[in-house]
């Protein structure tokens, strides 16, 4: 058959020429829930040759309906001396082994076999199943065959066997049908078992036809991107439609042309795409970063995440006579204290509220003069602001309050959490549980934002880091400068990691120090790098700066609960400053 003429690489899947199939057919007492097996026939084939057959009648221990006797020719007398299913099933499963099961209308035959296993307390082996009905419907056109019955297909493919509703005969005819279908799809580039399975899943022909795009792509780590073409002032240019990453680009791209890809927008993307290309990467982290940068650069139509990496928010403690908290979009060199970043304004507002609940800092936006008093607002009367506007506190007293806020932003989330204990207890006692949940969520947002702030800003403050981690592929080496990935390499077995690290440093990107506390790259890039640096086994080779954050920049769940719920919990202890 055609499949014999092609031997695909081993990494393309299981070659059809190397696949053992067991084509099975059953005869039963009917199709209802009480029906049982009366005959099993099976043919084992490999590389187009029959290597074994299995056939036996089965005593169903029930009367065979007259209509079934006429259809199959199997009578009660014929099965009276036949073995029971409990005796037949183990030998049949041994005959099948780990081969691929093939049947015409496989749901029927495999369904009976699974039921038999359940009834006999025998585990179903879970063999791969190919349905020749589903395969023929995907391969043959309507003007080729009037229907997909076994007799019709056997005649279409010139089988010397005529199906007659006896198990072994029908199994032999199904073998010829299977070979005919494999020969047909072989002309469409189907040479592996995995490819054959895809044809049974009704993948649109237009999408399946583009599967050859993946063939020239490397089986290595990298970033792939689908594109179409647009006319510009400079001529016909590529337009990036979608960007993704993978440790095995070819294998990942192939899935977009199979039934494994079920996302509707991806189906549309593949239909309109004109091609796919790849950016090879040395390590998975580099692939993550390149993907982020490409999405940010091209804003691909079919990517949903990371398209606007610079749309972040910062919380600012202003540098003025009477500082206040302010939401801003960018960091400026104005001497203020900045806290963030925040991916959403809602998170920033929750953190602002948590801080304002803990510290009665002013909330008005007026610029207050240290010499000219102004009338206070309602918040002062409610005790929620110390009212520096009407000089209820001196500038020095207010500066001490602002310093407490600055200290909380600098690394200790516990005072803000502890300040909410009394209010939370009152809300619970008053059975205002929704408000209590909102308060708890606000505090959790505060602790999470604090940890993110220190991870990102401390990494941004490190001018140079060279780190390495050992993997199955070798030593992953990364050069990081001010929170931006400046270089990456993979020292494979036999290569000297230290020598490759020096070479990578020499070739690494020059990164200008950013405006603190922002990283040189995007915030998301810095977070991905921090995730990698914090993995077990990562080793620092060189570092210029301090990679650390305060001990209480975040809280574990149990510590968070103790501080929030225990009014006697000591918030500050000696030695709770900074750990490296």
Burial string for 547-561 (b: 16+ CB within 10 Å, else e) reads bebbebbbbeeeebe
Q: What is the DSSP letter of 44?
A: E
94-98 long-range contacts, CB within 8 A, separation 24+: 95/22, 95/42, 95/44, 95/52, 95/54, 96/22, 96/24, 96/42, 96/125, 96/127, 97/20, 97/22, 98/20, 98/125, 98/127
Could you tell me the CA-to-CA distances from 157 to 137, 148, 215, 512 in Å, in that order? 14, 12, 31, 70
Could you write out the DSSP letters of every residue in 361-374?
-----S---SSS--
Query: Which residues partner with 24 through β-bridges?
Result: 42
**Token pair for 187:** 């002309």
Contact 543, 462 (CB under 8 A): yes
Whether the upstream peptide bond of residue 111 has omega within 30° of 0, thus cis, is: no
Inter-helix orientation angle 345-358/433-461, to 10°: 100
270, 264 contact by CB (below 8 A): no
Tell me which residue has tokens 């960007």.
243
| Structure tokens belonging to residue 166 | 């006896």
DSSP β-ladder status, 549-550 and 474-481: unpaired
Q: Which residue has the tokens 């299977």?
A: 178
Residue tagged 């400068």 (tokens):
481
Contact 104, 177 (CB under 8 A): yes
Is 155 considered catalytic here? no
Give the C-alpha distances (Å, rounded to integers) separating 455 from 323, 346, 419, 483: 25, 21, 25, 10
For residue 526, CA distances in Å to 166, 234, 458, 459, 548 come to 67, 35, 10, 7, 14
Which is nearest to 329 in space by CA: 352, 308, 311, 346?
A: 311
CA neighbor of 175 nearest in space, from 154, 196, 194 = 154
Active-site residue identified among 155, 156, 165, 464 = 165
* Cα–Cα distance measured from residue 165 to residue 186, given in angstroms and rounded to the nearest whole number: 30
Q: How far apart are CA 446 and CA 59, in angstroms?
A: 71
The H-assigned helical ranges of 462-547 are 497-507, 523-533
DSSP conformation class of 59: B
Please give the Cα distance from 569 to 554 (Å, whole number).
17
Q: Considering only CA atoms, which of 159, 361, 228 is closest in space to residue 149?
A: 159
Which are the contacts of 506, defined by CB distance < 8 A and separation ≥ 6? none
Q: How far is the C-alpha of 415 from the C-alpha of 435, rounded, in Å?
A: 20
What CA–CA distances, in Å, run from 169 to 81, 152, 178, 494?
21, 15, 14, 59
Q: SS3 of 228, please?
A: strand
Residues with active-site annotation: 165
């Amino acid at each position: 058959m055609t499949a014999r003429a092609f031997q695909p690489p081993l990494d393309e899947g299981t070659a059809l020429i190397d696949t053992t199939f067991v084509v099975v057919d059953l005869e039963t007492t009917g199709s209802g829930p009480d029906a049982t097996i009366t005959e099993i026939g099976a043919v084992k084939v490999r590389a187009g040759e029959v290597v074994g057959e299995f056939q036996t009648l089965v005593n169903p221990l029930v009367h065979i309906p007259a209509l079934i006797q006429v259809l199959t020719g199997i009578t009660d007398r014929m099965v009276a001396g036949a073995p029971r299913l409990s005796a037949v099933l183990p030998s049949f499963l041994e005959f099948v082994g780990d081969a691929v099961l093939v049947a015409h209308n496989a749901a029927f035959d495999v369904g009976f076999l699974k039921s038999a296993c359940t009834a006999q307390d025998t585990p179903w082996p879970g063999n791969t199943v190919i349905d020749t009905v589903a395969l023929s419907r995907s391969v043959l056109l309507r003007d080729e065959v009037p229907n997909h019955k076994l007799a019709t297909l056997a005649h279409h493919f010139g089988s010397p066997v005529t199906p007659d509703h006896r198990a072994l005969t029908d199994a032999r005819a199904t073998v010829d049908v299977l070979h005919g279908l494999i020969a047909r799809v072989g002309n469409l580039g189907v040479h592996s078992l995995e490819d054959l399975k895809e044809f049974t899943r009704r993948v649109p022909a237009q999408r399946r036809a583009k599967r050859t795009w993946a063939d020239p792509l490397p089986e290595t780590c990298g970033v792939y991107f689908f594109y179409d073409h647009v006319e510009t002032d400079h001529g016909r240019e590529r337009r990036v439609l979608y960007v993704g990453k993978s440790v095995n680009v070819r294998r990942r791209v192939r899935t977009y042309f199979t039934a494994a890809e079920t996302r509707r927008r991806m189906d549309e993307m593949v239909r309109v795409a004109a091609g796919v290309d790849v950016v090879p990467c040395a390590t998975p982290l580099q692939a993550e970063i390149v993907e982020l940068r490409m999405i940010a650069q091209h804003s691909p139509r079919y990517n949903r995440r990371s398209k606007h990496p610079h749309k972040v928010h910062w919380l600012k403690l202003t540098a003025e006579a009477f500082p206040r908290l302010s939401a801003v979009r960018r960091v400026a060199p104005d001497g203020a204290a900045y806290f963030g970043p925040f991916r959403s304004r809602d998170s920033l507002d929750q953190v602002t509220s948590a801080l304002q609940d803990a510290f009665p800092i002013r909330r008005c936006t007026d610029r207050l003069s240290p010499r000219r008093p102004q009338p206070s607002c309602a918040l002062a009367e409610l005790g929620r602001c110390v009212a520096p506007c009407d000089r209820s506190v001196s500038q020095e007293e207010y500066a001490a309050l602002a310093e407490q806020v600055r200290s909380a932003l600098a690394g200790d989330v516990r005072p803000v959490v502890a300040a909410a204990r009394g209010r939370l207890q009152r809300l619970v006692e008053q059975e205002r549980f929704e408000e209590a949940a909102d308060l708890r969520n606000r505090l959790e947002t505060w602790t999470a934002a604090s940890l993110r702030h220190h991870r990102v800003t401390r990494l941004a403050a490190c001018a140079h880091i060279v780190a390495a981690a050992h993997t199955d592929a070798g030593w992953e080496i990364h050069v990081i400068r001010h929170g931006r990935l400046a270089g990456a390499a993979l020292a494979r077995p036999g290569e000297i990691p230290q020598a490759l690290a020096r070479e990578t440093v020499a070739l690494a990107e020059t990164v200008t120090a950013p405006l603190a506390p922002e990283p040189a790259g995007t915030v998301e890039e810095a977070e991905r790098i921090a995730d990698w640096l914090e993995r077990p086994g990562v080793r620092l080779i060189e570092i210029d700066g301090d990679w650390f954050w305060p001990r209480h920049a975040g809280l574990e769940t149990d510590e968070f609960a103790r501080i929030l719920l225990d009014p006697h919990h000591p918030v500050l202890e000696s030695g709770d400053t900074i750990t490296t």
